[in-house]
Structure 1
């Protein structure tokens, strides 16, 4: 149960959101449920992932945390928040309260529920298009333009894995944070237009404005409504493509650095030393995040000591998945000084007041630990890839990977499930006998083992193998979403995915993105209000 002392009123939360002090607003429902309705600034970290992810999302234990959901206040909601509070307190978080009242009471104080994910970043993208008047091109106009001039580059600014799933014919991939780092070398003729696209709207807008703000001379356009708009216009897309814009050579890198330096000076983005970062990080009363914003491949080769990888474009696109604490300080590293400039510029414009570029710092190449919770699983309960098939014979395979990963491929016969309520779910399904637990994130598998092993009468084992080794361990993978103990509500599925709803969902999604600027206009703590009331076409 939650006592009165552990509650915060909607009125007091609104006051906290408007104050200049640190706060984390945390929703511990599964992302697919969270996406049906949540508070504007709520970060989503499900109860299943809480122990594994909270210290990255909210690193300072003194940060005030407010737990919230959709305001139903039913037994399930209250029990989940009570469980989350107990977990957080056991991990040393000092102030954890639960938002009191129903959704109707919240709304009376100005707190609306928003559908979707990455809401603040998405609303920011719409704000930028509105105030910067981002040039755009419709799918029909682009199709006609490229029919006359097929050499016009179309650059997809999503991560490579998203580009592989679906892309425009002839497009090349260059993630948004890499645009001013890699792209200028391809645009030798200053009169050559370039079109930036993503799946929907936000990254297209931010990508196009990144090139414009950095001073590139070429005409730049955002593809209106991205690949979804392209499909809705009746044009075909490609699948499985991997055409990337290469990293710059020495001359191109020098030009990108010069461009970024000019941009950084014009915007007065502060540059700090490693010693200054250490001084900031040691403060007991403030949170300082350190992100290495380079490409994940570079981060894997050598990374800044103590930094988390947050590719620059994704950090801007989904800030709430990386930064849990509002009003915190953010330090960004890129050995070229280009991608951190891009991210700092946009984070500052989106309302983060203390964003710093790190000039240099110590690098390390030693492998990162693959599992922080391995100690929860005794040696005799660990399965290696080479023995997994033999030792798992006759056992029920439980896959706790994200449902999107399970959909793409899983061990034959494996059951998809969530960690939360796992024991009750197994018993309810009449499952008996030995179990093998696996998850793309090994921490989740180890935590699930701890949850159920002492209450399960038969052997419980955990697969200790990198996700890429699973096919060799179990044979040919199955795809699709058939065997399941849980609905695929752990994540929000994009409209173009097999579980996403197709073209009707694309239309709904694009309308949702456009509407966000209007809906967010008077949200507590949201400072980005256009000078005139936003009247959006329907």
Structure 2
């Protein structure tokens, strides 16, 4: 039975060693504006898809919060239906927390960003600003620009001439990247803003690379603010093969970091023991290799989260506080280095599997393969089967095809994904009713319980769950567009774009990178830099 937690009780949890998760179920825009330090964001519309991987054991303590307590009641019912049985909510929400003078913060992935600024200040991580970098490029100075973001981010836009080397791959690949470069070639590390650039530069600084290494101050955002154009559609994302010398250098470095930072190594028997513990407590088993390696063969039970993103999004990786983490790769370098960052972030029980997938296979254990990253890491599929709540919704909610909907329009068509996705394209005449506010906002658009309603979203999954909710609360003539707007577009039916018909200012989306306007970029970068001021004072 779910129970309320007073603000004082929640504050006590933060000062204890009890494993627990504080999950904010509001939308990213709301979370970005203000949230409780130490909370993790899983919007209500994502609970059925993300919660099982975020909280691996159903008996772990989960405390939910929103602004005033209205949405929490619906979220509690959802996660109890998912099998979680140790659930609470913050009584009075964040509003009451603030009224009692407990702290809040703004931004997303704040623990990692704060840590990045600390690393820069404490270790004097060298950097170069965009104007100086451009001047050196114009002078024809020797340099290689390494973009430590995900390959998807890199392909969308990058510093002209840069190549993609995700942060978790830097130490493993850098020996081979620089093997044929002149000794006076500078290595420039960049990301979209600051954190991944700082962390990547620090990796090479600590490794003792025998050449100049600098981070690009403020990343691609700083490049844009300096008045320069980004390159779009770059294809320089093929990683070099790892030579014996490159692997040896990376593993020697990883061993040193593990020893200095307190990372513990596991053998296969030790991993078995950790798997036995996971029957009674939440534990995180994370594979930090590339997506291609993970797809080819992985240890059963390991979730994919590439090493650089693990550090960038540590509060998304380890949602349950005080829970153990086990990292693996194909040897030990990438796993141990990611584990060392988590130790520096303050996590107490952190392990690396010595030998990784190779040791597992050598022990005669089978590797899994053949299922896509998206299927394994989107909670719509858990253990290879569709989540029970989504499957039940699929059985209980009538579906209508795109052609049938076009020929026979209902009284109301609603779209329940984000405002950004609504603006990209929706069935003409649709009303935006975000799933997180469904029960409260549906009456603004539907006057009678007998009205015919068709629920839509991007791909047909959020709409299934939303339609099931509407039928449960009395809107019996509710159907869903099979396959969502994706199927509508596949049928070559016209879509409407923009925020047509939206009366409330959306607060659900956080823009990043060049999607921000100039003022937002400036304020964001200043906020990030300011996080390090307390460390400079120390």
Same fold (TM over 0.5): yes
Q: What SS is found at the alignment partner of 1:170?
A: coil
Matched, 1:270 2:288: no
Q: CA 1:56/1:444 → structure 2, altered by over 3 Å: closer, same or farther? A: farther
Per the TM alignment, residue 452 of structure 1 is displaced from its structure 2 partner at its CA by 1.7
Matched, 1:143 2:143: no
Find the aligned partners of 1:483 and 1:101 in 2 and give their Cα distance: 32
Find the aligned partners of 1:103 and 1:6 in 2 and give their Cα distance: 13
Q: CA 1:44/1:275 → structure 2, altered by over 3 Å: closer, same or farther? A: same
Match of 2:482 in 1: 463
Match of 1:513 in 2: 528
Matched, 1:450 2:442: no
Deviations 1:500-527 (A, max 9, x none): 4x11111110111122245xx6xxxxxx
Residue pair 2:192, 2:221 contacting (<8 A) in 1 also: yes
Match of 1:421 in 2: 437
Matched, 1:254 2:244: yes
Per the TM alignment, residue 130 of structure 1 is displaced from its structure 2 partner at its CA by 1.1
Per the TM alignment, residue 145 of structure 1 is displaced from its structure 2 partner at its CA by 1.0
Find the aligned partners of 2:396 and 2:81 in 1 and give their Cα distance: 26
Deviates more, 1:503-512 or 1:476-485: 476-485
The 5-angstrom pairing of residues 17-56 of structure 1 reads: 17-56=14-53
Find the aligned partners of 2:170 and 2:487 in 1 and give their Cα distance: 33
Cα RMSD over matched residues? Answer: 3.2
Q: CA 1:79/1:102 → structure 2, altered by over 3 Å: closer, same or farther? A: closer
Deviations 1:272-317 (A, max 9, x none): 2344223223325532111122223433444332222211111110
Q: What SS is found at the alignment partner of 2:185?
A: coil
Q: What SS is found at the alignment partner of 2:107?
A: coil
Per the TM alignment, residue 161 of structure 1 is displaced from its structure 2 partner at its CA by 2.5
Structure 1 gaps, min length 5: 71-76, 522-529
**Aligned partner (choices 189, 203, 225) of residue 232 of structure 1:** 225
Structure 2 gaps, min length 5: 361-365, 376-383
Q: What SS is found at the alignment partner of 1:290?
A: strand
Q: CA 1:338/1:407 → structure 2, altered by over 3 Å: closer, same or farther? A: farther
Per the TM alignment, residue 330 of structure 1 is displaced from its structure 2 partner at its CA by 0.9
Aligned residues: 503
Deviates more, 1:484-493 or 1:115-124: 484-493
Find the aligned partners of 2:464 and 2:269 in 1 and give their Cα distance: 37
**Aligned partner (choices 5, 8, 15) of residue 7 of structure 1:** 5
Matched, 1:112 2:103: yes
Q: What SS is found at the alignment partner of 2:507?
A: coil
**Aligned partner (choices 235, 248, 257) of residue 243 of structure 1:** 235
The 5-angstrom pairing of residues 25-104 of structure 1 reads: 25-69=22-66, 77-100=68-91
Q: What SS is found at the alignment partner of 2:272?
A: helix
TM-score (norm 2): 0.83
Residue pair 1:437, 1:460 contacting (<8 A) in 2 also: no
Matched, 1:340 2:335: yes
Deviates more, 1:282-291 or 1:431-440: 431-440
Deviations 1:425-455 (A, max 9, x none): 3441248535143344x65333223112353
TM-score (norm 1): 0.83
Find the aligned partners of 1:393 and 1:315 in 2 and give their Cα distance: 47
Match of 1:167 in 2: 158
Find the aligned partners of 1:157 and 1:101 in 2 and give their Cα distance: 41
Residue pair 2:402, 2:481 contacting (<8 A) in 1 also: no
Residue pair 2:125, 2:205 contacting (<8 A) in 1 also: no
Matched, 1:378 2:395: yes
Find the aligned partners of 2:292 and 2:424 in 1 and give their Cα distance: 22
Q: What SS is found at the alignment partner of 1:271?
A: strand
Per the TM alignment, residue 412 of structure 1 is displaced from its structure 2 partner at its CA by 6.1
Find the aligned partners of 2:173 and 2:55 in 1 and give their Cα distance: 33
Find the aligned partners of 1:135 and 1:230 in 2 and give their Cα distance: 17
Matched, 1:209 2:202: yes
Match of 2:380 in 1: none
Find the aligned partners of 2:253 and 2:228 in 1 and give their Cα distance: 37
Residue pair 2:255, 2:336 contacting (<8 A) in 1 also: no
Q: What SS is found at the alignment partner of 2:26?
A: coil
Residue pair 2:254, 2:332 contacting (<8 A) in 1 also: no
Find the aligned partners of 2:292 and 2:523 in 1 and give their Cα distance: 35
Q: CA 1:477/1:276 → structure 2, altered by over 3 Å: closer, same or farther? A: farther
Matched, 1:365 2:360: no
Find the aligned partners of 1:84 and 1:370 in 2 and give their Cα distance: 23
Q: What SS is found at the alignment partner of 2:134?
A: helix
Q: What SS is found at the alignment partner of 1:221?
A: strand
Per the TM alignment, residue 131 of structure 1 is displaced from its structure 2 partner at its CA by 1.1
Match of 1:219 in 2: 212
Q: CA 1:61/1:378 → structure 2, altered by over 3 Å: closer, same or farther? A: closer
Find the aligned partners of 2:164 and 2:500 in 1 and give their Cα distance: 33
The 5-angstrom pairing of residues 383-398 of structure 1 reads: 388-390=402-404, 392-395=406-409, 398=414
Find the aligned partners of 1:415 and 1:151 in 2 and give their Cα distance: 55
Per the TM alignment, residue 126 of structure 1 is displaced from its structure 2 partner at its CA by 0.6
Q: CA 1:356/1:158 → structure 2, altered by over 3 Å: closer, same or farther? A: same
Per the TM alignment, residue 139 of structure 1 is displaced from its structure 2 partner at its CA by 0.9
Find the aligned partners of 2:172 and 2:414 in 1 and give their Cα distance: 43
Q: CA 1:51/1:380 → structure 2, altered by over 3 Å: closer, same or farther? A: closer
Deviations 1:186-224 (A, max 9, x none): 322343111111111111101111222334323211111
